Amino acid sequence: MEKCLLGKSDLAVSRIALGCMSLGTDQRKAQEIIQTALDAGINYFDTADLYDYGVNEQIVGKALAPVRDQVIIATKVGNRWNDDKNGWYWDASKTYIKEAVKQSLQRLGTDYIDLYQLHGGTMEDRIDETIEAFEELVEEGIIRYYGISSIRPTVIKAYAERSNIVSCMMQYSILDRRPEEEAFPLLEKHGISVVARGPLARGLLSDALLNKASESVKQNGYVNYRYQELKELLPLLKEKLTTGRGMTAASLQFVLAQPVVAACVVGASSVGQLVENVRALEQPALTEEELHFIRKLTKSNGYEQHRLSEKTR
């Protein structure tokens, strides 16, 4: 699988990353999915201390232990479980970050983390203190690089201008193009890579299309799209983009066609689901005409609410 350097780091990450949140707590099943990812050339695995109360880190660490020096492990910090584990609260303090990283290292069974990410962030945080924590961890050799996971333009701007983050994870897809205006230009300027999550928009951009629509989507729509708009838009996209490829492939390829995007994070709760996503990169790439079609039909702030003429289509 093709690899891409993450920001200004020397981390060469696979264009598809395995988002480990959906692995579940069955070590055998998770091991099978992770091994399938490795066999497909995926070397980038993303987890978080929040997932399954830290059990996800344990499962990922155990599965990757035999190939630790060949993979890139990314985890996250900032969401702190209550003592009774019935919820969590935000803590981006230096004290907590430097304590939490020790626990993540222990669960992962490793003595360093390739990419340590702030799992959110607000403008009310003591941002310079948070940055100082990450910088010290780099100096101590505990982490190789750090990044953030955020969709807040003000937070992204603060870290892009005041820190040495190499990546920013954010939601981005054909149905959520807000980052193109809100974040991409700034991140490109500072040499920071985007790690895109949600490229299939909760399954709406997979081959299943609206069959994957949850009750929430039917009632509230998705991002800036009403459900009725999705019923009009998705068939148009499928009609134009699925000659020689599936909709899943077109959706992932659109995201990866953006120069600032280094990798797509895809989740998988089964081997079959992962294989489908990996095969997307083996299918014909989107043409410039198809990319133009997507950009014309969708907007960064929502559906244009018009059907293209037969000639344009």
Round to whole Å and give the CA distance between 79 and 125.
13
Beta bridge partners of 196: 170, 264
Determine how β-strand 302-303 pairs with β-strand 298-299.
Answer: antiparallel
Overall pTM surpassing 0.75 (yes/no): yes
Q: Is 53 a catalytic residue?
A: no
Write phi, then psi, for 263 (nearest 5 degrees): -155, 155
According to the model, what pLDDT value does residue 72 have?
98
Q: What is the pLDDT along the chain (313 residues), one digit of tens a residue?
A: 999 999 999 999 999 999 999 998 999 999 999 999 999 999 999 999 988 888 999 999 999 999 999 999 999 999 887 877 788 788 999 999 999 999 999 999 999 999 999 998 898 999 999 999 999 999 999 999 999 999 999 999 999 999 999 999 999 999 999 999 999 999 999 999 999 999 999 999 999 999 888 999 999 999 989 999 999 999 999 999 998 899 999 999 999 999 999 999 999 989 999 998 999 888 999 999 999 999 999 975 554 543 333 333 3
Round to whole Å and give the CA distance between 121 and 261.
21
Round to whole Å and give the CA distance between 133 and 127.
10
Among 51, 116, 172, 225, the active-site one is 51
Rg of the chain (C-alpha set): 19
Torsion region of 24: left, alpha or beta (phi above 0 gives left; psi -120 to 50 gives alpha): left
For residue 195, the SS3 value is strand
Round to whole Å and give the CA distance between 309 and 165.
44
